[in-house]
Every structure is written in C-alpha cells, then in structure tokens.
Structure 1
Amino acid sequence: MSDLPELVLRGSPSPHVVQLTLNRISKRNALSNELIVQLAAALRTAALDDSVRCVVICGGDGFFSAGADIKEMQQRGFEAIDNPVRRAAWRDISGFAKPLIAAVDGVCYGGGHELALLADIIIAGAGATFGQPEINIGILPGDGATQRLTRVAGKSLAMLMMLTGEPIDAATALRAGLVAEVVEKGQALSRAMVIAELIATKPPRSAELAKASVLAAYHTTLDTGLEFERQAIRYAFTTEDQTEGMNAFFEKRPPKYSGR
C-alpha cells in the first residue's frame, strides 16, 4: 500500500473533525477503484476513532469529481465498476455511521455525484454543477444514482439528468433538495467546516442516532421508520451525554459531551 499514490489526503483542521480530500488531481478526481478503496479505508479509520465526530469530503480546485474512471471501464468493461473490492468499499462508505458532509465546488459528475449523494449534507459553491452523463458513453449510472437521486430530487428531475446527460447548476440542485446550501464560489469547504465544527459540539451518539433515523425514512415504511425513531431516542436516554445535556440546560452552562 505504501507504494501506491496517496489518492485521499487526511487532515484534522479542528477538534473532532476530519477532512478527506480527493487527490487524483490530474484525472479531475475520477473515481478509480484504488481511490474508492482508499476513501473507504479512511472512513473506516474515522469510524473507529472515538475522537472523530464529523467528516468532510472535498475535491480540488474547480472540481469535486468528474466521475468514474472511464479508462478503467474501457480496459476492464463492467468488471471495472462491479467487482467485490469496489462493492465492499462502496458499502463501507455508504454505511459510515457518523455525520458526513460533502463540500462541492465545480464539477460533480457521474460517480462523483453518486459519492456526494452518500453525504448527509451537501454544501455547494455557486459555480458547482451536478450531472449523470453516463448515457453519453452508452451506459447508465451504476453506483446508486438511479435510486438515491430519484428519492432525493424526484423522478422528473432524475429522469431529465439521466436521460439527457445534461448537468444542473447549484441553484437548481438547491431547489430540488439535492444540496442543503449554496454559498459563494470557492467557499463550499469553509462553510462545510463551520457546519462540521458545530456538529462536533453535539453529543456524538445522538448525532449518529439522528442520522440513522433519517436514513431509515428512505428504507422503510412510515410506521417502521417511526418505530426506529422511537427506539433510537429510547437509547439516547440511556447515555451519559443525555444526562449531561439536560443538566447543562438547567444549570445554564455549555455542555461537555464525552460520547458516552
């Protein structure tokens, strides 16, 4: 592994926050199998580190990610995007239990867009564009967009993006509920960091339970989701942080959360 290029850079810009920067700049962060594997490994490490409470994923100057690696697909065909290693890596990314923010400035296409869809919050710069252009090379999205984009933005917009291959701008993505905020061009990462730092001040188990409960809305019926929420809050009431939070409220002081 040490002989491989470092395709994901890890930083800790503030307490309890990890920044993961996609670092395949010469290929506009095209999601090669190795990049996906390294990103999954970085998230597994963050998942096991009790000091980490929020992760921010970002790209380079002018692009988040241009999509999957077309050269790999040309050489390996379908196996390039559907193999046991890549599937396992995507499962680890999608199953990351802690809050995950994507800071998107510039191009966010194809597999890169599908990666951003795995984030809990997307912050977009004003010049960002989002697209699923796979139809232009004779295929279709294969890393989740047909399901996740449709659930988030609705059938009509998902169909428009996937059947025409044309991207949408940040303002359209905001109206569709695809992104949480649009900020000035070049400011997506700084805004994402502000949000991450705020999340990091909250009780980490409660944040994870809230994330899991919201995601349950996409996988279950309403009644099942409501029961999931009920069990999640039941568990939250058993944590030390719940006691600390409530005591701090009545004592009119800032809470000190431990993650227990």
Structure 2
Amino acid sequence: MLDTKTYKNVLLAVDNGIATLTINRPKSLNALNSDTLTEIGQALDEVKANEESIKVLVITGAGEKSFVAGADISQMHNMNSLEAAKLSKLAHTSFRKIEDLSQLTIAAVNGYALGGGLELAASCDIRVASNKAKFGQPEVTLGIIPGFGGTQRLTRLVGRGKAKEMIATGKMIDAEEAARVGLIEEITEPQNLMTKVKEIANQVMKNGLIAVGMAKYVIDRAADLPLDTAIDFETQLWSETFSTKDQTEGMTAFLEKRKPTFKGQ
C-alpha cells in the first residue's frame, strides 16, 4: 500500500484513504515545467494503481502564496511551435489522468491559481479555495492563449461569456467572484482550507464509492450529449449499481435504520 512518495517537484502522501498531491516548487510559486508535469502524471499513475487504499485525491500547492502560478515562463520563453506543442500535450496527458481517475478529486486552492494553475484546478472534480486565492488566465498578456485546457474547461465551468472575458482581459478574479460564477464550490479562511477539504473527502468516503465513481463518470461523459442519449447512459449505469454489494448494503441499512458499511464491492 502506498504511504508517501517524494519526487523532485511534487509530493504524494496518503493518510486514511486520502491522497494529497502537492506541487512542491514554492520558490517558483509552484510553476509547472515539463519535469513537474511529468511527475504529476507519474504520481497520478500511483493513485490509479492504488484504488483500493486511496479513496479521494486532493491536489494543492506548497507554501502560502500559490496553488500554481502558471506554466514556467523561463522554460517557455525560447520555445518554438513544435516544443510548445510538446509541452501542451504533456500537460493535457497529465490533466486528463486526473479526470479519468475513478476517485473523486478535490483542488485545495491555497493561493494564486493562474494560467496552468487554473487549468490544473479545473481538471479536478471539486474546487475549494482560501479566501485569499486569486484566479486567472493571463496568457494573452504574454502574447499566447491558454494551452493546458483553459479554453475548454473554463468555458464548461463558467460559460462562454465569462470565459471569454477572463481570457481576453487576462484579469484576475478573487475567490468570491470565482464562487459566484461557478468556478469554485467552497471558500474558507486560509487556516481552515485543508480541514474543509478533508471534511468533504471524509463525507464522500462514507458513501458507496463505486456509486461515487459511476456518478462522476456519467456526469463527465454525458454532459455534452443530447439529453435523451445522456438519460439512456444514466439509466445504464444506474441499473449496473444494482449488481453491487454496496447497493444491497446501502438499502438494507436504510431499511434497518442503521449506517451502512460499504466495502466498494
């Protein structure tokens, strides 16, 4: 069973079913370079390989200032188009691994979530932020566009108009506005951030985790389908949950007026 694994630029620790992946470059405000993106992908492979012991994944940044302040401009400065495409594909590969996990994922946004940092947070299922957090896609101020999924995931979270405004102006928004437009789900005081995140994670882990994973899968895969097709997909997955032991336990416990003991079976 995975306990703790330290990479050069990220940390992966597991405690009571909750894995915490920390981007650990505080001197660079946790900026994402190619090595860090590679290590994120490797850590996510570890999480996927330990599904039985890891129930929820939390992603955060080291230090008090920044979740992830963006991609590493010092690395990108002299890139040509082919090198830029390679970096973009590396980020897409790692971020898609987050979305493809069966486990629920929570971004604990402790500070700046800009550019690649916002794109990383947007890859998670739920976003909880410190009231000191700032969000933005400032790529146009550098003469480029978002390249790690920002034009797509941000649009799906906040709508076309708000996404276009944020991307075209490059301006930052605070946590309150981020919550108002649907970019984040919860706001906390900085000192309470991880407590709140773990509270959510523990609430999730009390439930049938097969059902949680299936619900996540249906939401992600069917959200852009025609409604009738999406409903058929939901019906298929809903009916499949009735073949699990968790369904039997959950409904039996309800009828017996006790708390269920789910085993992920």
Range of TM-score over shorter length: over 0.9
Between the two structures, name the one with larger relative contact order (CA 8 Å, sep ≥ 6): 1
In the alignment, which of 51, 71, 76 is matched to residue 79 of structure 2? 76
**In the alignment, what sits opposite 1:11?**
13
Q: 92-101 vs 24-33, which deviates more?
A: 92-101
Residue 160 (1) aligns with residue 165 (2): yes
**In the alignment, what sits opposite 2:102?**
97
In the alignment, which of 100, 106, 113 is matched to residue 111 of structure 2? 106
SS of the counterpart of 2:129? Answer: strand
Q: 83-92 vs 186-195, which deviates more?
A: 83-92
- Structure 1 unaligned regions, length at least 5: none
**In the alignment, what sits opposite 1:57?**
59
Query: Counterpart of 2:67 in structure 1: which amino acid?
Result: F
Do the aligned partners of 1:216 and 1:228 also contact (CA within 8 Å) in 2? no
TM-score (norm 1): 0.93
Measured in 2, the distance between the counterparts of 1:163 and 1:79 equals: 24
CA RMSD of aligned residues (A): 1.7
Do the aligned partners of 1:44 and 1:96 also contact (CA within 8 Å) in 2? no
**In the alignment, what sits opposite 1:237?**
242
How much has 1:59 moved relative to structure 2?
A: 0.8
Paired residue total: 256
- Structure 2 unaligned regions, length at least 5: 1-5
How much has 1:253 moved relative to structure 2?
A: 2.0
How much has 1:216 moved relative to structure 2?
A: 2.5
In the alignment, which of 253, 256, 260 is matched to residue 251 of structure 1? 256
Measured in 1, the distance between the counterparts of 2:216 and 2:7 equals: 33
How much has 1:86 moved relative to structure 2?
A: 4.3
How much has 1:85 moved relative to structure 2?
A: 4.4
How much has 1:28 moved relative to structure 2?
A: 0.7
TM-score (norm 2): 0.91
Runs of 4+ in 1 over 6 A off after TM superposition: none
Q: How does 1:1-260 map to 2 (within 5 A)?
A: 6-13=8-15, 15-49=16-50, 50-60=52-62, 61-83=64-86, 85-260=90-265
Quickly say closer, same or farther: Cα 1:217–1:187, change in 2 above 3 A.
farther
How much has 1:78 moved relative to structure 2?
A: 3.7
Measured in 2, the distance between the counterparts of 1:100 and 1:108 equals: 16
SS of the counterpart of 1:187? Answer: helix
